[in-house]
Amino acid sequence: MDKSTTSLSLQDAAKRLVTGLVSEHDAEVMLAHAIEHNELHANVKRWATEQWEGKQLPGNINRLETFIELGDLQTWLAHCGRTK
């Protein structure tokens, strides 16, 4: 199966969580916290301080180059009581 169909960037995963009450950045922060606390597995890439782009995420996680498997995201969402 093509990786693009089984893996999402943190930014793309966050877009799936956006609601009227949760902004894209808030969703990115939620995902970053879950990754940092080993609740959500991801292939993480971190920004060096001088490279930072946009609003910071916990652990200097790069939202564009950190990838989450779709199945892992769905499992995490189910565990959190959210479905998407």
**First CA to last CA distance, the chain:** 21
Residue 56, classified by CB atoms within 10 Å of its CB into exposed (0-12), middle (13-18) or buried (19+), is middle
β-pairing verdict for 67-69 and 7-9: antiparallel
**Residue 45 domain-assigned?**
yes
Residues of the chain where predicted confidence (pLDDT) is lower than 70: 1-4, 49-54, 82-84
**Residue 50 domain-assigned?**
yes
**Residue 60 domain-assigned?**
yes
pLDDT at 2: 47
Domain of residue 30 covers 3-79
- Supply the pTM of this predicted model: 0.84
**Residue 84 domain-assigned?**
no
**Residue 15 domain-assigned?**
yes
The count of domains in the chain is 1
